[in-house]
Amino acid sequence: MVYLVAINGLDAGCVFELQQGWTTVGRHPDCQIVLPLDSVSRHHAVIRIDGEQVQLEDLSSSNGTRINDCSVQTLIPLADGDLIQFGQVDFRFQHAPPPAREATSAASSPTRQIGPGEMESQPGSLSASSSEEATHYSPVATPDMLRLRARLLSRLRAFFESHDFLEVETPLASADTTVERHIEPIPVTIHGRSLWLQTSPEFAMKRLLTSGVPALYQVTRAFRDQEQGARHNPEFTIVEWYRTGDTMEQAIEFLSQLCQHVLATEEPRLLSYREAFEQYLDLDPFAVKDRVLLQRIAALDINAPDDWRSMDKDSWLNLLLADFVEPHLGFDGPTILYDYPASQAALAQVRPGPPAVAERFELYIEGIELANGYHELLDPAELQRRSELANQQRQRDGKRPLPVKSQLLEAMEAGLPDCCGVALGFDRLVMVAAGVDQIQQVLPFPFDRA
């Protein structure tokens, strides 16, 4: 075991026992070590323990993190006796606990006010069931993590109820599926019918909107093939909602209020797609020529596929967004990115320019995309055209085409009311609230244990 010992102020002598994995330090209640001081940022720093190696990284905090009076930014190894400063709070890192006071585990009681007698257990980044000794039948998420999921879900439902949204349920398997270039639905056969597990409840919920329901939401499971990793599980929980009559600005404001209510954050910062590229890459994504974009990508250290030179402009922009823009978003409070290129409209309306922009937006916290929303497309002919174009792109990518005709098209022809919709990844929301970096840590049975 290793320990952090507070060495200044009224809290001098308070001990935190650290275990394998990640421990977040900050003043926000979702941190594993909570320091409720103005000099400490919401998510100030993170400590990583991997075997015998212990490292510390600052999370772009306002007042910085220091080791032995040297500023810390990227992961830095810790040695026995190092003096660590989070804002104005000083700790000593050591391998042996001081004999005068019993240490408190930052894994077993991960969220706390610093100081004796004020501990409050909440889920952290560690789980006994995620250790090497865990058996395969064991759940990964701890009971505390499951309780956090339940609390967050309760807050979401209370928020929607307070705004007169109707909770609905729609089929998980349907004859229809969203036609998107980069989303792979999973086909199933039930009672001889060829169906698709839903990648989102969007199509069915829009059909409900045409029946006269003005505001509705759903908490459900969704499925996407070929998506597994630190932030992806093939089966996941999605929260999706629609309200008629909203402009994009009103939908962004509603998402902002929901974020503040559920996660107790400050008001999200608004940043346009163009502003983000200008700020982090010094280029205008709408005006840049393909030749210049190719040159910029070639000069950057970027994780690109071998055939990147043959990709289209939107694919190049997505590469840059993922590697050089998204990692900066949402660290000084939530960020909502909005006004995407018209060519990336998907199922959103396009607002005439110049430049024309897609009325879509995405919420980021700590570099994680939590939600995406649209001022929804109403024109059935345009939906069919975009779906056919997406199928052409899928076939060029070596993927199967998907059915273009759908019951949503019929509903749109009958008259889909003007509306905005948002889809939120609930498992990622729990990740942010718990301060963990692996989606498997917030699921009782992720894909490899399902």
> CATH number of the domain that 107 lies in?
2.60.200.20
Domain identity same for 197 and 63: no
Domain identity same for 154 and 60: no
Q: How confident is the model at residue 275 (pLDDT cuts 50, 70, 90)?
A: very high
Q: How confident is the model at residue 101 (pLDDT cuts 50, 70, 90)?
A: very low
Q: What is the mean pLDDT of residues 401-416?
A: 95
Q: How confident is the model at residue 298 (pLDDT cuts 50, 70, 90)?
A: confident
List the domain range (segments joined by +) for residue 249: 145-449
Instruction: Please return the burial class of 292, using the count of CB atoms within 10 Å of its CB with bins 0-12, 13-18 and 19+.
Output: exposed
Domain identity same for 215 and 80: no
Q: Does the structure show a pLDDT above 60 at 106? A: no
Residue 402 lies in a domain: yes
Alpha helices (H) in 5-163, listed in sequence order: 143-162
Domain identity same for 206 and 316: yes
Residue 282 lies in a domain: yes
pLDDT at 10: 52
- The two counts, helices (H) then strands (E), for the chain are 9, 24
> pLDDT digits over 226-259, tens only?
778 889 999 999 999 999 999 999 999 999 999 9
Domain identity same for 270 and 212: yes
* Among 103, 126, 86, CA closest to 94: 103
Q: How confident is the model at residue 35 (pLDDT cuts 50, 70, 90)?
A: confident
* Among 325, 416, 436, CA closest to 375: 416
Domain identity same for 46 and 78: yes
Residue 135 lies in a domain: no
Identify the domain boundary among 122, 154, 185: 122
Alpha helices (H) in 118-194, listed in sequence order: 143-162
Residue 127 lies in a domain: no
One-letter amino acid of 202:
E
Instruction: Count the domains in the chain.
Output: 2
As a whole number of Å, the CA-based R_g of the chain is: 24
Domain identity same for 181 and 101: no
User: Across-strand partners of 186?
Assistant: 197
SS3 292: helix
Structure tokens at 134: 């865990």
What is d(CA 89, CA 155) in angstroms, rounded to the nearest whole number? 33
Q: Does the structure show a pLDDT above 90 at 103? A: no
Residue 27 lies in a domain: yes
Identify the domain boundary among 89, 122, 155: 122
Determine contact, residues 268/434, Cβ cutoff 8 Å.
no
Domain identity same for 225 and 357: yes
Identify the domain boundary among 88, 122, 156: 122
Average per-residue pLDDT for the chain: 87
What is d(CA 231, CA 263) in angstroms, rounded to the nearest whole number? 19
Burial track 367-382 (b if 16+ CB lie within 10 A, e otherwise): ebbbbbbbbbbeebee
Q: How confident is the model at residue 16 (pLDDT cuts 50, 70, 90)?
A: confident
Domain identity same for 41 and 149: no
User: Across-strand partners of 358?
Assistant: 340, 350
pLDDT at 111: 33
Domain identity same for 320 and 424: yes
Domain identity same for 314 and 215: yes
Alpha helices (H) in 180-272, listed in sequence order: 202-209, 248-263
Domain identity same for 73 and 196: no
Residue 132 lies in a domain: no
Bridging pattern class, strands 166-167 and 83-86: unpaired
Determine contact, residues 165/241, Cβ cutoff 8 Å.
yes
